[in-house]
């Protein structure tokens, strides 16, 4: 179970990092080459960090909720099967 959490967290981190890199590369000069600067990189970094934190918190909350309510859902479904 720990491996799944770690793999999920790494996948979320790569997804968030990819979005930040794509948005940083959109600003360019006339030559078509990306011109990252502190003005674009710092806000993108902050936005990516916030998204990463939100994603990890959402995954943790969803996983915890699923673990807590799973026995009740299973009990209810067995109650319907038994009649």
Expressed in angstroms, the distance from the first to the final Cα of the chain is 34
Torsion of CA 35, 41, 47, 49, to 10 degrees: 130
Q: Indicate whether 42 pLDDT > 60.
A: yes
The span from the CA of 25 to the CA of 23, in Å, is 5
Does the pLDDT of residue 51 top 70, yes or no? yes
Q: How far apart are the C-alpha atoms of 56 and 37, rounded to whole Å?
A: 28
pTM as predicted = 0.42
Task: Write down the pLDDT at residue 83.
Answer: 66
* Mean pLDDT, range 65-80, rounded to an integer: 90
Q: So what's the pLDDT on residue 45?
A: 83
């Amino acid at each position: 179970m720990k491996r799944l959490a770690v793999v999920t967290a790494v996948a979320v981190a790569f997804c968030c990092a990819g979005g930040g890199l794509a948005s940083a590369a959109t600003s360019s000069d006339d030559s078509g080459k990306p011109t990252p600067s502190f003005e674009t990189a710092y806000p993108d970094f902050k936005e990516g960090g916030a998204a990463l934190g939100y994603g990890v918190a959402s995954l943790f909350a969803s996983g915890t909720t699923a673990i807590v309510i799973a026995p009740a859902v299973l009990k209810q479904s067995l109650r319907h099967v038994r009649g």
